[in-house]
């Protein structure tokens, strides 16, 4: 039996879920797939495997399977399971959370700019997860709730907007499957430098880490490196030197919008990592330079906001949709640009 962690899944989710590929040996005797996987994969209970199967997260020879399927020699099995909690303790902190929606299975949080999503090197406290741990400690005990928040996806520290949090293993498995199969609708608003030649378009170009700087993602249009990425965009407002655009993600690669817009020649406003923290369009007048610097100071981050999320509720199976307006810093900068171009 050949069993290896998969390496061709979305970077955004690779730290939150375990991916395996198992090729069954020629001499394998028939056995139910749920029993087989629960015995072969560490921390995978039979119930957890069955939930993953119900969510479509386990494939046999490229097709969804059933729990009572009996594996055969040379079957090619792909598995996606939520990772078990790490042994390192996550400290509980009383951090205010902007909760847009909550039921016993999931919650929708509006993350402010500047907040890191989960603890990591250099950011062990003050994160969204620290706040969620405190919040969940003060909730009534619920069946299936481990007391730890379930991250299904992430957004960058300086990106504002919506995140869905799974409160039960069943919800986490189902939502992970929806992200993996690209059936979650995600809309972002971004302020970019310049005015695109057309009113809308689609960027198709692999996104992967830069060979020069591992913290930055590059676009590889030839597909020789990186991972498949698709961003649909359209212009909402043209403001001469900058434009407000809407982006809809078909995939969810790390820094996808930021890298794709730089590749298009329109980096995000004040995105230091991708060259947007310098004047890219406009005049040489000192008044203009002062105005732009004032905007940078007002919004000291990339102008990117996760505006909406739409998905199938993992339990009710109804389509749900959530939307939040631009945060104050983004809205203020946008209003300043509108005033500047109207009265210049």
For residue 220, list its beta bridge partners: 206
φ/ψ of 338, rounded to 5, equals -60, -40
Residues facing residue 23 across a β-bridge: 2, 76
Is 185 a catalytic site residue?
Answer: no
| C-alpha torsion 108→113→117→121, nearest 10 | 180
Nearest to 255 by CA among 238, 273, 239: 273
Catalytic residue of the set 34, 156, 158, 218 = 156
- Whose tokens are 């020699």? That residue is 73
Q: Are the beta carbons of 277 and 271 closer than 8 angstroms?
A: yes
Detail the DSSP E strand segments found in 74-228.
Answer: 76-82, 99-102, 106-111, 150-151, 160-166, 185-193, 200-204, 206-209, 217-220
CB 110 within 8 A of CB 159: no
Residue 201 and residue 246: Cα distance in Å, rounded?
11
Active-site residue list: 156
């Amino acid at each position: 039996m050949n069993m290896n962690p998969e390496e061709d899944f979305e970077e955004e989710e690779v730290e939150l879920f375990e991916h395996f590929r198992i090729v069954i040996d020629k001499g394998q005797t028939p056995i139910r797939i749920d029993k087989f996987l629960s015995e072969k994969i560490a921390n995978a209970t039979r119930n957890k495997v069955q939930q993953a199967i119900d969510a479509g997260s386990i494939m046999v020879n490229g097709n969804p399977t059933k729990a009572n399927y009996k594996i055969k020699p040379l079957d090619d099995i792909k598995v996606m399971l939520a990772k078990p909690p790490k042994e390192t303790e996550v400290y509980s902190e009383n951090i205010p959370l902007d909760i847009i929606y909550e039921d016993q299975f999931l919650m929708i949080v509006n993350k402010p700019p500047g907040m890191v999503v989960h603890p990591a090197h250099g950011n062990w406290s003050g994160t969204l997860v620290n706040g969620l741990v405190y919040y969940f400690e003060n909730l009534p005990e619920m069946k299936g709730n481990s007391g730890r928040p379930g991250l299904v996806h992430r957004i960058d520290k300086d990106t504002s907007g919506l995140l869905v949090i799974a409160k039960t293993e069943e919800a986490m498995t189902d939502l992970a499957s929806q992200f993996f199969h690209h059936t979650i609708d995600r809309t972002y608003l971004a302020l970019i430098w310049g005015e695109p030649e057309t009113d809308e378009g689609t960027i198709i170009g692999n996104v992967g880490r830069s060979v020069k700087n591992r913290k930055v993602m590059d676009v590889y249009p030839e597909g020789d490196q990186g991972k498949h990425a698709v961003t649909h965009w359209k212009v909402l407002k043209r403001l001469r030197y900058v434009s407000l655009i809407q982006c809809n993600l078909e995939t969810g690669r790390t820094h996808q919008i930021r890298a794709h817009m730089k590749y298009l020649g329109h980096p995000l406003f004040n995105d230091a990592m991708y060259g947007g923290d310098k004047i890219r369009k406009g005049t040489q007048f000192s008044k203009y330079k002062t105005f732009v610097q004032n905007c940078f100071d007002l919004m000291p981050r990339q102008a990117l906001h996760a505006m909406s999320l739409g998905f199938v509720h993992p339990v009710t199976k109804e389509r749900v949709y959530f939307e939040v307006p631009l945060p104050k810093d983004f809205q203020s900068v946008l209003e300043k640009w509108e005033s500047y171009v109207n009265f210049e």
